[in-house]
C-alpha cells in the first residue's frame, strides 16, 4: 500500500466517523517551547490547555513533523528520522478511551478490501499505563486481546504530558510483531525493533502539577472534560505494509536514494558505511525541503541553523560517496515529485526552495574545501603531538573564521579518531559574543504562566475587537492584573494589565506595533503603553494608572492615539506594497520573512537566495510603489474562506496559522494578502514611500527599510538641503556631484598611498641600523628590538627579512616587536647558519611568548604571532637572549 493511500484511508475513515478534517499546520508555529512542530497535537494545544474553545468536538489531521534531537543517529539506525508524518484523531470532550480504542482497532485490522490497513490481529500487541485497568478491560472487550499481548509499563513509557503544568494522561501504544527474524520473543518490553510501535493513544484526563506523573508524582486534579490525542506514524505503517526493511526503502523515500545512486555510481546495500550516507541524504532531503517550504532559510541561529546543518550533512554525505557536482536541487526535485500529492504547495514554492538550497550548497562547497584543508592540518598536528583531543581553539577557528559548523567538526574528528575540546570551544564562543537571545519572557507570556489570563477568558469570554472601524469606544473592565496577580483595584502609579470586554486597541501582531492611548473612567485614567494577546481571544492593555483608582467592572472610554494609529496604518499598508514590488522585481522566490510596522517607518525582510538587490532594481521598486500611491487605489479588507482566498491569489505568509475564515487586504491586482492588521482606506493616504536601505540580515534573507508619509517627506527635504550644500561647496551642479566627489576621493586615496610609501620606505631604511646594532650572544648575532613606529603586519615581515639578509654568513636571529592599540605583533627570522645550530624560528617563539601574553608559530626560517601585553616586550627580549645563551 502506497504512503499516499495510507494517508487517504486514515482521513476517509475518521471523516466518515464524524471528525472534522484539519489541514497540517506549518512546521513553524508561534510557540516559545518549540523550534518545529514535532507532534500532531501541537496545533490543538490551545484547546487542550483551555486557552480557546475547540471549534469542533472531533478532528483528524495528517501533521508534518520535524524532530532533530536524534539527528546524529539518522542513517546509523533504520528507525530515526527527522521528518515524518503523524496521522491523528482528536476528541475534545467527546468520546474517550472506548471510542479511541475502537477506532484504532477497527482501522488497523479491517481488511484492505474493506478500507482498512489489514494488519493481522494475532500479531498486534499493546502496552498500557501501569495502573490503567480500564484500558486493559477495553482492549479485551473490543479487540479480544489475550493477557499475554497486553503489557503494563511505567510513566516514562506510557504517560504523556506537555512538560509543563497542565493536561496529561496515560497512554496505550499499539505494536506490530514483525517476526522472530527481527528479534527476541517477549513483546515490546523485550524488543522494540521486533515489536514496532505504530500508534499511540493518549487518554488526556489529568491535571499535572509542577512534578510530572511520568516520574511517579500524582496528578493534582482531573480535567473537567476528558480528551483524546492519538498519533499514528505514517512512515512506520508504510514500511510494514510495503514489506520493506525500514522507512528508507518506502515509496516516498527510496527515490532520493536512487537519485544519489545515479550521482555516485555506488549501490545502496553494498556497503554499511555508504548505506549510512545514503540514508542521511534521503532523510535530510525531505526535512530540508519541507522546512524551507514553510519559510525557514539557512542561518547560524535557531531553526535556520538546524536547516543549515541538515543541508550541509547532505552535501558532505554526497562528497563521501564520491560526488563532486552540486546535488541539492536534484534531491529537492525528487522530494517535490514524491510529496506533492499530499503537499501541493511544494510545486508552487519550488523555485524558491531550489534557489535556497542552491545558494546554501554553493556557499558550503567553498567552506568545505577551505575548512577541510584547515581541519586536516589541525588533525595532523594533534596526532603528531600524540594528542587524542582536537583543541577547542582549532574548532573555534574553523567555526569563526571559515564558517565550519561545530557539528561537522565533531563528526569529522570522530571519524579521525579524535575528540574535540567542546568546553573550550564553548568558552571561546561565549567570549566572542553575548548571547542575549529572546526567550519565552521576551515573548511576553509562555504556556506555563498564562493561568491568570485564561481565568479571565473562562469567566468573561474573549475581547471583541472594534479597531477596524472605531478608535474610541465604551467598554467594561473584565480583568485587572497587577504583577501577574488578579486584583479588584489598582491606584495611581501602579503598573496594571487591563482586560476589556470590547476594545478599539490593536494588540501587537504580524509585525504591527501595538496601539497606545488612554482608558478613562469617571474618576481614573490609565495610560496604555502596550497591548498584547497572551492567550488567543484576549487583549490585555498594559500601562500605568495616572489618576485615581481603577477597579473591576468599571466602565471606561477606550481611546486610541489617533495620530499613532494612522501612522502605523500607513506603514503597514506600505509594507504590502513593498512586498508586491519586491516580488514583481525578483520573482516569487522573494517571500516575506518578517516585518515591522511602526509610526512613519517600516522594515520588510524577504528571502533572496540570489543575494543583494541592485541599486537600480531598488530604485525601480521604489518608483513602482509610489506610482501605485499616485493611482490612489482603494484598500479593501474583507473576510472569506481559505479556499476562496487561494483561488483569488491572496498571498499567505509562511509560518502563519490560518483558520477556515481569513481576512484579505486587497489593493486590486497589485497586492492581495491575508492580513489581520489595520490599513488606510486608499493608497494615496500614504503620501510617499522612501526606501532608505537594503542589506543582508542572514543567509538568503535581505531587509528593506523605508520611511512613510511625513517622515519620508522630511527625509527627502533633508537630503535636498545636503545636496544643495555640497553643490555650493564644490561649485558644481547637483548632477555633477558623483563624478566630482569620486575625483576628490581618488586624489585623497593617492595622497594616502604616497604618504604610506614614504612611511614604509623610512621604516625599512632602519634595517641597516638594526643590523649594525646586533649583539653577540654565545656566537649568535641577535637583533631583538621594537620596530620603528608605524611598522605593522606584512611590513614587519619585510623588515625582519631585510635585517636578516644584512647579517651575512653569521648565525643570526632577528626578533622584532610592534606594539599597536594595546596589543603586540612580532616576527622572528633566522639565518641558515642559525638553523644549522638548531635554532628554529617557530620554536624560539615559545621561549618569549609568555611575557607578552602571546602565541604564534611558523617555519624554521620565519615565524610570527601576537600578544596582549605590550609592556612585556623588554622581558620577552630578555627571555629570548637567555634562551640563546642556554
Binding-site annotation: residue ranges for Zn(2+)? 572, 576, 675, 679
State the cell numbers at 733: 551642479
Contact (Cβ atoms closer than 8 angstroms) between residue 813 and residue 839: yes
Q: What per-residue string of b and e applies to 198-227 under the rule 16 or more CB within 10 Å gives b?
A: bbbbbbbbbbbeeebbbeeeebeeebebbb
CA distance 556 to 541: 13
CA distance 727 to 145: 92
Q: Report angle CA 623, 626, 628 to the nearest 5 degrees.
A: 115
For residue 312, give every residue at least 6 positions away whose Cβ sits within 8 Å of its Cβ, in sequence order, or none.
360, 364, 368, 405, 408
CA distance 604 to 278: 39
Instruction: Decide the pairing of beta strands 221-233 and 195-208.
Output: antiparallel
CA distance 640 to 661: 6
Instruction: Decide the pairing of beta strands 221-233 and 485-486.
Output: unpaired
CA distance 591 to 651: 9
510: left (phi over 0), alpha (psi -120 to 50) or beta: left
Alpha helices in 731-863 (DSSP H): 737-764, 767-772, 793-805, 832-836, 841-848
Alpha helices in 38-118 (DSSP H): 45-49, 97-109
CA distance 656 to 653: 6
Alpha helices in 497-548 (DSSP H): none
The conformation of residue 446, written as its DSSP 8-state character, comes to: -
% helix / strand / coil in the chain, to the nearest 5?
Answer: 45, 25, 30
Contact (Cβ atoms closer than 8 angstroms) between residue 710 and residue 603: no
Contact (Cβ atoms closer than 8 angstroms) between residue 261 and residue 255: no
What are the phi and psi torsion angles at 107 (to 5°)?
Answer: -65, -40
The conformation of residue 127, written as its DSSP 8-state character, comes to: E
**Cβ count within 10 A of residue 396:** 21
What are the phi and psi torsion angles at 202 (to 5°)?
Answer: -105, 125
Instruction: Decide the pairing of beta strands 124-129 and 150-153.
Output: parallel
Query: Which residues are annotated as part of the binding site?
Result: 572, 576, 675, 679
Amino acid at each position: 500500500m502506497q504512503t499516499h493511500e495510507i494517508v487517504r484511508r486514515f482521513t476517509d475513515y475518521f471523516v466518515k466517523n464524524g471528525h472534522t478534517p484539519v489541514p497540517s499546520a506549518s512546521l513553524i508555529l508561534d510557540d516559545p517551547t518549540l523550534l518545529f512542530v514535532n507532534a500532531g497535537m501541537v496545533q490543538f494545544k490551545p484547546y487542550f490547555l483551555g486557552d480557546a474553545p475547540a471549534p469542533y468536538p472531533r478532528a483528524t489531521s495528517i501533521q508534518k513533523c520535524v524532530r532533530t534531537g536524534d539527528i546524529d543517529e539518522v542513517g546509523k539506525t533504520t528507525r530515526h528520522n527527522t521528518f515524518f508524518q503523524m496521522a491523528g484523531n482528536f476528541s475534545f470532550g467527546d468520546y474517550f478511551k472506548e471510542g479511541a480504542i475502537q477506532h484504532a482497532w477497527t482501522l488497523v485490522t479491517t481488511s484492505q478490501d474493506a478500507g482498512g490497513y489489514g494488519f493481522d490481529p494475532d500479531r498486534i500487541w499493546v502496552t498500557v499505563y501501569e495502573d490503567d485497568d480500564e484500558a486493559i478491560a477495553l482492549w479485551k472487550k473490543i479487540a479480544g486481546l489475550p493477557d499475554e499481548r497486553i503489557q503494563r509499563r511505567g510513566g516514562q513509557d506510557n504517560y504523556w504530558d506537555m512538560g509543563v503544568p497542565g493536561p496529561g494522561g496515560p497512554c496505550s501504544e499499539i505494536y506490530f510483531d514483525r517476526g522472530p527474524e527481527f528479534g527476541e520473543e517477549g513483546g515490546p518490553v523485550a524488543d522494540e525493533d521486533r515489536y514496532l510501535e505504530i500508534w499511540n493513544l493518549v487518554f488526556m484526563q489529568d491535571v499535572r502539577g509542577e512534578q510530572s506523573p511520568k516520574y511517579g508524582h500524582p496528578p493534582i486534579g482531573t480535567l473537567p472534560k476528558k480528551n483524546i490525542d492519538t498519533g499514528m506514524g505514517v512512515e512506520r505503517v508504510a514500511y510494514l505494509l510495503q514489506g520493506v526493511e525500514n522507512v528508507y526503502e518506502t515509496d516516498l523515500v527510496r527515490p532520493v536514494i536512487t537519485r544519489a545512486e545515479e550521482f555516485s555510481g555506488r549501490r545502496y546495500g553494498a556497503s554499511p558505511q555508504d548505506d549510512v550516507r545514503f540514508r542521511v541524504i534521503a532523510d535530510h532531503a525531505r526535512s530540508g525541503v519541507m522546512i524551507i517550504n514553510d519559510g525557514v532559510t539557512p542561518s547560524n541561529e535557531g531553526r535556520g541553523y538546524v536547516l543549515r546543518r541538515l543541508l550541509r550533512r547532505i552535501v558532505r554525505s554526497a562528497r563521501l560517496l564520491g560526488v563532486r557536482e552540486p546535488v541539492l536541487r536534484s534531491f529537492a526535485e525528487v522530494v517535490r515529485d514524491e510529496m506533492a500529492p499530499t503537499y501541493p504547495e511544494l510545486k508552487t514554492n519550488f523555485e524558491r526552495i531550489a534557489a535556497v538550497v542552491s545558494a546554501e550548497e554553493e556557499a558550503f562547497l567553498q567552506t568545505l574545501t577551505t575548512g577541510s584543508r584547515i581541519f586536516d592540518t589541525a588533525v595532523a598536528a594533534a596526532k603528531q603531538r600524540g594528542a587524542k583531543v582536537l583543541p577547542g581553539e582549532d574548532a573555534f577557528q574553523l567555526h569563526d573564521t571559515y564558517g565550519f559548523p561545530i557539528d561537522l567538526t565533531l563528526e569529522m574528528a570522530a571519524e579521525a579518531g579524535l575528540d574535540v575540546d567542546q568546553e573550550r570551544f564553548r568558552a571561546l564562543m561565549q567570549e566572542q559574543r553575548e548571547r542575549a537571545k529572546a526567550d519565552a519572557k521576551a515573548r511576553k507570556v509562555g504556556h506555563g504562566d498564562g493561568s491568570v489570563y485564561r481565568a479571565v477568558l473562562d469567566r468573561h469570554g474573549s475581547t471583541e475587537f472594534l479597531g477596524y472601524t472605531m478608535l474610541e469606544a465604551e467598554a467594561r473592565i473584565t480583568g485587572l492584573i497587577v504583577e501577574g496577580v488578579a486584583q479588584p483595584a489598582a491606584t495611581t502609579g501602579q503598573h496594571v494589565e487591563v482586560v476589556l470586554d470590547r476594545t478599539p486597541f490593536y494588540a501587537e501582531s504580524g509585525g504591527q506595533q501595538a496601539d497606545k492611548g488612554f482608558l478613562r473612567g469617571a474618576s481614573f485614567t490609565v495610560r496604555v503603553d502596550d497591548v498584547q494577546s497572551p492567550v488567543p481571544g484576549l487583549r490585555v492593555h498594559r500601562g500605568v494608572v495616572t489618576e485615581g483608582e481603577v477597579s473591576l467592572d468599571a466602565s471606561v472610554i477606550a481611546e486610541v492615539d489617533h495620530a499613532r494609529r494612522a501612522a502605523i496604518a500607513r506603514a503597514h499598508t506600505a509594507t504590502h506594497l513593498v512586498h508586491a514590488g519586491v516580488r514583481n522585481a525578483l520573482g516569487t522566490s522573494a517571500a516575506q520573512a518578517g516585518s515591522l510596522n511602526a509610526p512613519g517607518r517600516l522594515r520588510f525582510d524577504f528571502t533572496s537566495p540570489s543575494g543583494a538587490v541592485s541599486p537600480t532594481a531598488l530604485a525601480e521598486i521604489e518608483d513602482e510603489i509610489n506610482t501605485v500611491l499616485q493611482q490612489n487605489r482603494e484598500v479593501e479588507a474583507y473576510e472569506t474562506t481559505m479556499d476562496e482566498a487561494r483561488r483569488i491569489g491572496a498571498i499567505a505568509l509562511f509560518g502563519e496559522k490560518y483558520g477556515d475564515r481569513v481576512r484579505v487586504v486587497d489593493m486590486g491586482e497589485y497586492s492581495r494578502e491575508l492580513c489581520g492588521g489595520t490599513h488606510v482606506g486608499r493608497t494615496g493616504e500614504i503620501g510617499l514611500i522612501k526606501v532608505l536601505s537594503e542589506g543582508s540580515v542572514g543567509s538568503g534573507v535581505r531587509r528593506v527599510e523605508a520611511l512613510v508619509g511625513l517622515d519620508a517627506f522630511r527625509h527627502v527635504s533633508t537630503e535636498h538641503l545636503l545636496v544643495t550644500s555640497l553643490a555650493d561647496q564644490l561649485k558644481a551642479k547637483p548632477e555633477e556631484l558623483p563624478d566630482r566627489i569620486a575625483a576628490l576621493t581618488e586624489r585623497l586615496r593617492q595622497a594616502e598611498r604616497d604618504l604610506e610609501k614614504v612611511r614604509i620606505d623610512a621604516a625599512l631604511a632602519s634595517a641597516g641600523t638594526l643590523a649594525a646594532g646586533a649583539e653577540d650572544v654565545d656566537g649568535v648575532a641577535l637583533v631583538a628590538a621594537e620596530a620603528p613606529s608605524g611598522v605593522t603586519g606584512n611590513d614587519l615581515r619585510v623588515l625582519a627579512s631585510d635585517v636578516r639578509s644584512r647579517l651575512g654568513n653569521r648565525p643570526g636571529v632577528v626578533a622584532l616587536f610592534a606594539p599597536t592599540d594595546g596589543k603586540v605583533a612580532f616576527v622572528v627570522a633566522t639565518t641558515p647558519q642559525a638553523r644549522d645550530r638548531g635554532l628554529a624560528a617557530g620554536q624560539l617563539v615559545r621561549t618569549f611568548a609568555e611575557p607578552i601574553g602571546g602565541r604564534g608559530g611558523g617555519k624554521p626560517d620565519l615565524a610570527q604571532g601576537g600578544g596582549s601585553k605590550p609592556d612585556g616586550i623588554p622581558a620577552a627580549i630578555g627571555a629570548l637572549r637567555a634562551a640563546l645563551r642556554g
